């Protein structure tokens, strides 16, 4: 009986916290130097939508790109179009979720690809001041 209860508790915990990409991520593009950028994802079943803020060729300027894709068997694929680029550019993001819950992969635009890593955004707790 105790074994059955333990198995049910384990199954309930697994269902309550499934592996997924829902949430806000701190993505780092590794392009000669590290470029942090926010990645916000919403997952429903295997379908994923979201946004990424990418740097432009103008220093300090970011452009927000809408993304669509999927997350299946720990593999993430996303794409979106930078509409105000001349000409419009397609962004393709592929990656995998590692055992520690972080993501890593490649972001490609035109013919250029950059490796990236990402971890879930951790909200800072007030220091008590």
Inside any domain, residue 98:
yes
Flag whether 43 is in a domain.
yes
Assess if residue 9 is contained within a domain. no
Q: Against a cut of 0.85, is the pTM above it? A: no
Domain that holds residue 70: 19-120
Do the beta carbons of residue 103 and residue 21 sit within 8 Å?
yes
CA dihedral of 106, 22, 124, 32, whole degrees rounded to 10 = 10
Is 66 inside a domain boundary? Answer: yes
| Domain contains 97 | yes
Specify the CATH number for the domain of residue 29: 2.40.128.120
Find the length of the chain. Answer: 129
- pLDDT in single tens digits along all 129 residues of the chain: 554 444 444 444 334 345 899 999 999 999 889 999 999 999 999 999 999 998 877 777 889 999 999 999 999 999 999 987 778 899 999 999 999 999 999 999 888 899 999 999 876 666 665
Neighbours of 63 (CB within 10 A): 15
> Does residue 128 lie within any of the structural domains?
no
Q: Is 92 a domain residue?
A: yes
Q: Provide the number of structural domains found in the chain.
A: 1
107 vs 29: CA distance, rounded Å: 8
The token pair at 80 is 């979106």
Q: Is the residue at 4 inside a domain? A: no
Residue 114: closest CA among 34, 18, 4: 34
């Amino acid at each position: 009986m105790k074994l059955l209860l333990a198995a049910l508790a384990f199954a309930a915990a697994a269902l309550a916290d499934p592996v997924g990409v829902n949430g806000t991520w701190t993505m780092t593009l590794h392009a000669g130097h590290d470029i942090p950028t926010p990645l916000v994802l919403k997952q429903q079943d295997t379908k994923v939508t979201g946004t990424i803020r990418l740097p432009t060729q103008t220093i300090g300027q970011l452009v927000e790109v809408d993304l669509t894709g999927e997350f299946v068997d720990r593999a993430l694929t996303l794409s979106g179009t930078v509409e105000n680029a001349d000409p419009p550019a397609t962004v393709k993001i592929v990656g995998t979720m590692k055992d520690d819950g972080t993501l890593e992969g490649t972001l490609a635009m035109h013919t250029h690809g950059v490796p990236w890593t990402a971890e879930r955004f951790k909200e800072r707790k007030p220091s008590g001041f």
